[in-house]
């Protein structure tokens, strides 16, 4: 398994070795030794796993968890193709307001690690795109917040010609600047503190 840091502080991409044979193929989307080598700590204790299936053109996000408690994620696409996006919304972070993306597909089987406080979005590029992810904390509705993926300041690589399919919640979500003004964004130092306790 190889890894590389993304442009967002603390976020990483992982690419497993794929073993094809006459039966099909085998791979391990998460491998603790590679993860620990890349990040200097093991993966968080898993509190929940999520599974979603999306039509082509669906945009989910930008989602994040109020910090504290904060949630780290390890995201993988077992079926279909998606652009997975990490958005740094941590106030005080050296990469605040920036985003980076990874193509998750059935050729490289990459996975993405998003640290506590980083916003997450993805764009389904094919019908029946399945996303599977591990989370460091359980879902609690009032802690789950959303930012607008249509925010022109961010300029995410959304489907053109009005083809993006969004939930009502994501359509109505504030921009990064609006959420900042309203004090809804996590602080970088608080995210790092939670991160420190999450992985131990």
The catalytic residues are 63, 133
Q: Which of 8, 43, 200, 12 lies closest to 135, judged by CA?
A: 43
Q: How far is 67 from 117, CA to CA, in rounded Å? A: 7
- Dihedrals phi, psi of 119, to nearest 5 degrees: -70, 145
User: In the structure encoding, which two tokens stand for residue 160, read together?
Assistant: 């053109």
- Residues 162, 170, 119, 179: is their CA dihedral positive or negative? positive
Q: How far is 169 from 174, CA to CA, in rounded Å? A: 10
Give SS3 for 33. helix
In this structure, are residues 78 and 121 in contact, taking their beta carbons and an 8 Å threshold? no
Strand partners, 14: 3, 111
Q: Measured between alpha carbons, how far is residue 164 from residues 57, 74, 122, 174 in Å?
A: 5, 24, 11, 17
């Amino acid at each position: 398994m190889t890894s590389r840091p993304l442009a967002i502080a603390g976020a990483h991409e992982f690419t497993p070795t794929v073993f094809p044979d006459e039966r099909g193929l085998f791979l391990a989307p998460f491998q603790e030794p590679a993860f620990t080598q890349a990040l200097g700590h093991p993966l968080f204790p898993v509190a929940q796993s999520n599974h979603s299936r999306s039509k082509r053109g669906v945009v989910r996000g930008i989602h994040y968890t109020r910090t504290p408690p904060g949630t780290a994620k390890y995201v993988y696409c077992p079926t279909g193709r998606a652009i997975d996006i990490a958005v740094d919304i941590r106030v005080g972070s050296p990469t605040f307001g920036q985003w980076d993306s990874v193509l998750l597909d059935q050729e490289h089987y990459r996975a993405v690690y998003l640290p506590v406080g980083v916003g997450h979005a993805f764009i389904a590029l094919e019908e029946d795109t399945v996303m599977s992810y591990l989370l460091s904390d359980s879902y609690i509705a009032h802690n789950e917040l959303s930012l607008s993926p249509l925010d022109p300041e961010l300029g995410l690589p959304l489907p053109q010609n009005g083809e993006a399919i969004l939930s009502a919640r994501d359509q109505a979500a504030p921009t990064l600047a609006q959420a900042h003004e309203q004090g809804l964004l996590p602080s970088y130092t608080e995210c790092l503190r939670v991160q420190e306790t999450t992985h131990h």
